[in-house]
Amino acid sequence: MEAQTILIVEDEAIVALELKFQLQDLGYSIAGTVASGEAAIEWVDRQAPDVILMDVRLQGSLDGIEAAEAIRRRYDVPVIFLTSHSDDQTVQRAARTAAYGYLTKPYQIKELRAGIEVALTKSRMERQLRQSDRWFAHTLRCVSDGVILTELDGRVRFANPAAERLTGWSMEDAVGHSLNDIVRLRPLDPPASAGDNGAQQFALRQDDPLTTVRAVLRKGRPNPVAHAVRLLSRDGAERVVDEMAGPVNDDSGKALGVVFILRDASERIAREALLQASEERFRNAFDHAPLGMALVSFTGGFIQVNEAMCRLLGESAERLKALGQVSLTPEDEREHESRRLHELMMFPDGVVQFERRYLRPSKGDSVWTLVSVSLMHEGDWPTCYLYQVHDLTQQKLAAEQLAELAAERIRREASEMADAAKSDFMSRVSHEMRTPLNSVIGFAQLLQMQQGVDAGKIETYARHIRTAGEHLLALVTDLLDLNRAAQGALKMTLARVDLAQTIDEVVSLLGIQASAAGVGIELSIERPVAVVADGQRLRQVLLNLGSNAVKYNRQGGSLRMRAARSDNGRVRLTVSDTGVGMTGRQVESLFRPFERLGQERSAIPGVGLGLVIARSLMVEMGGTIEVSSEPNVGTDVTLELPGAD
């Protein structure tokens, strides 16, 4: 621990030197030794010691008492007088300097040490107390409430800046005055709505501040807060304040005085007025709203419901509060509503909206509603839910009617489309069947009319009749296949099929037709390659695609077939031609029955069912068919089927 420093003020050099040695032997540090009061003051100005040992009779114009007084006014340094003078006058003069000790010579070294230690301890405690007082005073100066401290008799001892502003009295002027002079209070006039009891309560607050001080001291506890009293300041201005008072006691509980607190209530009263007006507006809006409104607790109980809500649910407000929100919610909707309310708690300033049904026990039914839910707050804390409930009965009825009308319109349009499709189908079938039948009938009549004609004509007529019959048979076969595909009744036997072999068989059958049309056939087949399919149906599809590629090709054109296994384990087969090609719109119409894309009156044979049947067959075999084409360039038809190991 650092040694305490002592300044010795002594005009006799030998005494000062001896005192120095004694103090050093006791463990103290000697800051210095001076012989006059002026030198002592100058020393303290430079560096204040912890303690000053001061003789009364000194060199110079100032004696020790005058020097001690000058130091006390400027510095917080304890002074102990060490002198041979003990007359009453000298002692009284020394006492007025608030010295920490007075020792007469000759002294005992133990007495000197005891005096120094007591002075150091007392100085340290007083310094801490003054520091605490400064903290307390600074705190009081910073608080927004007016704080006035009084003596036991009600005289003002302290007033903070807030109290100065409220009362109009500075602390310097107020100190020593009666509290009644500084704080002049009177109650507000009772509001018209207060009635006789309210007026009586307002009249009760007629006590002056001194009466309050005496009541607080008598009871030994703070008095209740008096709200909204008028304070008349020194300049005559009136302010509305809240006022309270409490006792100030020492450690033993003995009363030292009273603290009187004034809080400016103007802002609070203004806020309360705004809040009251807001609550009135909310209450009016809530009660008279045309839609149902309810305050619902977090546990699902009704806190308050308006008249529109009661009418909607067919229950009284008391009955609804007894039932609660949860009991009016169908069980299958409770989880959804709980989830939406949880979302609202995650975003307390938001709104959630959802449809829900309310059960109506008295009517034995339910009503569809659209609810908007938000949170009501008390400060920063949510307190309950606000439900705004819109009746959706009319909207639901209108929606059902619209749905019925739409369904009826769809049924009617579907029926009309079916009738139109049936009519178109019959027209096309009739047209396709009439042509070969006319050929059959015409050539048969020629055979009847021309007796004795040569065998060559008979053979020609018979060939035409046969061709027409085969065309008619093919048409009927295609129609039967189309009908079975539409009904999902196509007979399939899926098995491993050697695709390369099937392609070779198809090319062999197409050879005569391709040669007659001047179309070359090119193959690029990954061998061996097999697929899972119905062998007969697969040949039917390939013959149809190959025949189309020859019929719609050009003289000197080509038909290419490419087959390979894909990365996904399926097999892709592409049939390409270099014919007339098609536009994008024509490709979109390609799979409609009897659609020949403008080739109906051409010499190219066909009825427009082949590709329709081919797609149905591919789907039944677990495959796909895609067509891409470019006018005057050609067409690619790509088949994809499951590969076989």
* C-alpha distances in Å from residue 234, one per residue of 150, 170, 184, 243, 283: 18, 10, 9, 17, 43
Which amino acid type is present at position 108? Q
| 47 contacts: CB under 8 Å, gap ≥ 6 | 31
Contacts of 99 (CB under 8 A, 6+ apart): 68, 79, 80, 81
| Res 452 pLDDT > 70 | no
CATH class of 397-483: mainly alpha
CA distances from 476 to 175, 433, 538, 598 (A): 124, 9, 20, 22
Helix (H) or strand (E) holding 336: helix 331-346
Homologous superfamily (CATH) for 289-391: PAS domain (3.30.450.20)
The pLDDT of residue 634 is above 60: yes
The 3-state DSSP class for residue 185 equals strand
Q: What is the pLDDT of residues 81-133, one digit of tens each?
A: 988 888 889 889 888 888 888 888 888 888 888 988 898 888 888 888 777 77
Cα 498 to Cα 425: distance, rounded to the nearest angstrom: 37
* 67, 42 contact by CB (below 8 A): no
One-letter amino acid at 404 equals E
**Residue 279: per-residue pLDDT:** 77
Q: What percent of the chain has pLDDT over 90?
A: 33
Nearest C-alpha neighbor of 542 from the set 557, 556, 562, 528: 562
Are the beta carbons of 621 and 537 closer than 8 angstroms? yes
**Is 90 exceeded by the pLDDT of residue 390?**
yes
CATH architecture of the domain formed by 5-138 = 3-Layer(aba) Sandwich (3.40)
Cβ atoms 550, 507 nearer than 8 A: no
pLDDT at position 328 over 90: yes
Q: What is the pLDDT of residue 616?
A: 83
Q: Partners of 296 in the beta sheet?
A: 302, 385
Both tokens of 188, joined, read: 């507000």
Q: What percent of the chain has pLDDT over 70?
A: 82
What local confidence, expressed as pLDDT, does residue 202 receive? 42
Digit-coded pLDDT (tens) for 35-71: 998 999 999 999 889 999 999 999 989 999 999 999 9
Place of tokens 């008799």: 153
Residue 312: CB atoms within 10 Å: 20
The answer on pLDDT for 365 being more than 80 is yes
Domain parsing of the chain, residue ranges: 5-138, 143-271, 289-391, 397-483, 490-642
Lowest-confidence segment of 42-46, 196-200, 484-488, 500-504 by average pLDDT: 196-200
Average pLDDT over residues 329-353: 89
Supply the pLDDT for residue 612: 80
Domain pair 143-271 / 289-391, same fold: yes
Q: Write down the pLDDT at residue 481.
A: 60
Sign (positive or negative) of CA dihedral 396, 398, 400, 403: negative
Q: Contact at 8 Å (CB) between 148 and 259? A: yes
535-559 mean pLDDT:
87
CATH number, domain 143-271? 3.30.450.20
Given a cut of 50, whether residue 199 has pLDDT beyond it is no
CB 209 within 8 A of CB 183: yes
pLDDT at 176: 92
CB 59 within 8 A of CB 67: no
Q: What is the pLDDT of residue 276?
A: 78
Q: Which of 75-84, 180-189, 435-444 has the lowest mean pLDDT?
A: 435-444
Model pLDDT, residue 3: 79
> For the stretch 282-310, what's the b/e string if a residue is b when 16 or more beta carbons lie within 10 angstroms of its beta carbon?
eeeebeeeeebbbbbeeebbbebbbebbb
Report which of residues 462 and 619 the model is more confident about.
619
Domain 490-642 grouped into CATH 3.30.1600.10: no
3-class DSSP string for 145-157: CEEEEECCCCEEE
| pLDDT above 50: residue 201 | no
Characterise 264 by phi-psi region: left (phi > 0), alpha (psi -120 to 50), beta (else): beta
- Mean pLDDT of the residues in the chain: 83
Round to whole Å and give the CA distance between 59 and 374.
Answer: 88
